[in-house]
Amino acid sequence: MQKNLKKKLLIILPIVLLLIVGAVAIINKNKKTTEQPAQVSTKKKISSPVNVIAVSERPYMRLEPNANGHYITIVIEEVKKTAKELNYEMEYQTGSMLQGFGGLISLGKLPISEKKLFGSQSAGGAITYHEDIKGGNFLAEFSGSESYAVKSAWRYFQNNLKATEFTSQDTKFTISNASLANYSYVIIYNSPGYPGELKSELLSDPYVVTAEKSLKTISSNFTVSFRSSEAGQIMGYDGSKWQKMDSTHEDGIVKASGALMDVYVLTKS
C-alpha cells in the first residue's frame, strides 16, 4: 500500500510543480504588461522668455473656430523673426475645468495652419468633446537661430443667444454688427503681433475676430471700440494694407465704424 502511495506521489508531485511554475509565469507576464510605463511625449518644454521681443517683431497669428465648435484652427500668417519650428501650448477653460493641448509645427511656406480638437480621443478612436468653452491663453515658442516665445489671450463665444456684440478677454476691445447674430461661434484673439508695418506707436494689442464662416460676407459696417484714456487712432488691416478709420473719443472710449478688417489696433494719433 505504501509502495502504491509513493508511486502516486511521484506521479502527482511533478504535475503539481508544473502547474505552480506555469501559474507564476502567467502572473509575472500579466504584471509586466500592466506595469509598462506610459509612452513619453517627444514634445519639448517651452523655456524661452515670454513676450520679451518688441510687438513689431512678434508673429501675426489667427485662431479660428470650426462649424460644429469642436475644433480650433491655429493659423500662422506672418513670422518676422526667422524660425524653423513652432512649439506651442494651448490652454482653455471648459466649464469650471482647465484643459489644454500642445504640439509642434514645422514652419515652411506661410501661411500654415493646424486643426486641433477641443477634447480627447481614445486609442480605440472614441472622441470626448469638451463643452462650454470660454477661451484661454496661447503660448507659442518659435525656434531658429534665436528662439523666442509669445503668449496672449483669446476669448471664445458659443452664440446661443444670437448676440450682436462681443468683447475681448481683457475687456479693452468690442466689436458689434447686427448680422453677428447669424454666427454660432466667435473668437476674439489678442494676436501677439500684427501684419506688415505700423509707423505709429501702439496703445493696444492687435485684435483678430473670426467665426465658423467668413465674416467678410457681411456688407454692413462693423462698429469697433477701444477702452482708452487717450484719444487714439483706430487702424484696421484690410488684408493688404493698414487703413485709418474715422475715430471718435468720448468717456474713455475710442470708437469707429467701417467694413470688417482682418486686424484692429489703437495707435497714438
What is the structure's pLDDT at 47?
82
pLDDT tens digit string along 142-170? Answer: 998 899 999 999 999 999 999 999 999 99
What is the structure's pLDDT at 37?
34
pLDDT tens digit string along 24-50? Answer: 444 444 433 333 333 333 466 888 899
What is the structure's pLDDT at 68?
96
Residue 108, domain extent: 55-267
In a domain, 91, yes or no: yes
What is the structure's pLDDT at 12?
53
What is the structure's pLDDT at 22?
52
In a domain, 183, yes or no: yes
pTM (2 d.p.): 0.83
What is the structure's pLDDT at 260?
98
In a domain, 246, yes or no: yes
Residue 17 has pLDDT above 60, yes or no: no
User: What percent of the chain shows pLDDT beyond 70?
Assistant: 84
Q: In this structure, are residues 184 and 210 in contact, taking their beta carbons and an 8 Å threshold?
A: no
In a domain, 177, yes or no: yes
Which own/partner contact pairs does 159-168 have at CB distance under 8 Å and 24+ positions apart? 159/183, 159/184, 159/185, 159/186, 166/209, 168/207
In a domain, 11, yes or no: no
Total tally of structural domains belonging to the chain: 1
Confidence of residue 11 (pLDDT cuts 50, 70, 90): low
In a domain, 30, yes or no: no
What is the structure's pLDDT at 39?
31
Q: Which of 170, 164, 176, 192 is nearest to 75 (CA)?
A: 192
Residue 18 has pLDDT above 80, yes or no: no
Q: For CA atoms 131, 132, 137, 142, give the dihedral sign.
A: positive
Which position has the grid cell 456688407?
A: 219
Three-state secondary structure call for residue 197? coil
In a domain, 45, yes or no: no
In a domain, 230, yes or no: yes
What does the mean pLDDT of the chain come to? 88
pLDDT tens digit string along 188-222? Answer: 999 999 999 999 999 999 999 999 999 999 999 99
Q: In this structure, are residues 103 and 120 in contact, taking their beta carbons and an 8 Å threshold?
A: no
